[in-house]
Amino acid sequence: MRYDVDGERLWARLMAMAKIGATPEGGSCRQALSDEDEAGRALFLGWCAARGYQFRRDRIGNLLLRRAGRNPEAGPVLIGSHLDTQPTGGRFDGVLGVLAGLEVLETLDDRAVETDRPIDLCVWTNEEGCRFQPAMMGSGVACGALDLETVFAARDHAGISLASEIVRHGYDREPWPRLADAACYLELHIEQGPILEAEAKTIGVVTGGQGIRWYEISVVGEETHAGPVPMALRKDPVPVLAHVISLVQAIGRSDEAARCTIGKIELSPGAINVVPGRADMTVDLRHPDEAVLDAMHRRFMDGLAALGHGHPEIDLNARPTWHSPVVAFDSRLINTVRDSATDRGLPYRDIVSGAGHDAFNLARRVPTTMIFVPCRQGISHNPREYAAPADVTAGANVLLDVVLVQTRLG
């Protein structure tokens, strides 16, 4: 028998969550382990408590909610995503996967459906990686991809350590993060790109994800007065910074599938009449082929080394901060998503995720796949991020179908 989620209930909760950390532009700001992030979690847990669901937390702040199955010893089906956002985030990124997961559990309860396997709904800490780096932190620690003590040392731009926020919210008293022996992991998400909308597809069947490399670059010279010092005698990091920008752009444009982004540039001291003494920037390289991503990495590091040699008056440093390898999702789960979309008459297409997700970490431990729904104009990490209610409901229904298949034993 096929069941349908309550799309109106799901939409109402998405809009209610969006009010926490709401921005004037219509988006949401709930950066990881901030008071707003904790308030969002409290709202979510209030909905869970109203249904009698029990939850547990771990030392990195992950939340795990269980709906029991007939066989408590069977490996659970994991579903979930994250509630933290970018500083100028939208209302759907991550949140859809969590609240659709809750909607799946409630739909099963409303219809008195018993499953053989338990279902664990997961809320992962700091998926975004905007306040504390690296990204996908909670799932990374739980899956063994990241070391807990190492990530505790991460600090935000104000110098606040992740460890201190963990203590402030009481997570330090919780058990060590550990991923249970699970049957599979499923994550519903907006596409964060324009392909599904452009092709009028309701469901993206996600076959895998791009590899990602992050870097922090510093270019250090010497600050001085903008007026008295001739151009030729300055130790100005900005011209070298311009060459770094050109290098990144050249790498990105050398391969149609490559993605290269400079997300942040800071000049110090940042005064109009002072030659900067330091320039800092971040670089994000992505590609769906790991060998090509490795070649991009080598080209970038070699190019930086050449720039450093060509400008001995400048100290140019590059620190790789994170590497998420290319991931392939489970073919059996992918086929189940296709089957659901076909049975429901929903237009679909296979797609590779350009963004990173907690599912990437889970895929290295358990069979995993994702389900995408369109977002308007492909806009995400932006207050204008939007997914239509009908698409949100369709994605949650496909998630429900796949959960029902995967929770059966035998």
pLDDT tens track for 143-175 = 999 999 999 999 999 999 999 999 999 999 999
- Strands 274-275, 224-225: pairing is antiparallel
Cα angle 142, 148, 149 (rounded to 5 degrees) comes to 170
Residues of the chain with pLDDT under 70: none
Q: What is the rounded distance in angstroms from the CA atom of residue 241 to the CA atom of residue 248? A: 11
Q: Count other Cβ atoms within 10 Å, centred on residue 242.
A: 12
Q: What is the pLDDT of residue 180?
A: 80
Establish whether the linkage from the previous residue to 269 is cis, with ω within 30° of 0.
yes
Q: What is the pLDDT of residue 83?
A: 98
Could you tell me the pTM of the whole model? Answer: 0.89
CA proximity to 158, closest of 137, 132, 134: 132
Q: What is the pLDDT of residue 37?
A: 98
Q: What is the pLDDT of residue 367?
A: 98
Token pair belonging to 335: 């086929």
CATH placement of domain 211-324: 3.30.70.360
CA proximity to 188, closest of 407, 402, 408: 402
Q: Is 334 helix (H, G, I), strand (E, B) or coil?
A: helix
CA proximity to 142, closest of 123, 155, 128: 123
Instruction: Identify how many contiguous H helices and E strands the chain contains and give both numbers.
Output: 12, 15
Token pair belonging to 109: 């309860």
Kindly list the distances between the CA atom of residue 290 and the CA atoms of 2, 9, 139, in Å, as whole numbers in the listed order: 39, 41, 21
Q: What is the rounded distance in angstroms from the CA atom of residue 351 to the CA atom of residue 127? A: 21
Q: What is the pLDDT of residue 54?
A: 85
CA proximity to 216, closest of 120, 300, 333, 289: 300
Q: What is the rounded distance in angstroms from the CA atom of residue 82 to the CA atom of residue 358? A: 8
CATH superfamily of 7-210+326-406: Zn peptidases (3.40.630.10)
334: Cβ contacts below 8 Å, ≥ 6 apart: 205, 206, 207, 350, 369
Domain residue spans in the chain?
Answer: 7-210+326-406, 211-324
Chain centre to alpha carbon of residue 404: 26
379 DSSP assignment? -
Q: Count other Cβ atoms within 10 Å, centred on residue 158.
A: 6
128 DSSP assignment? S
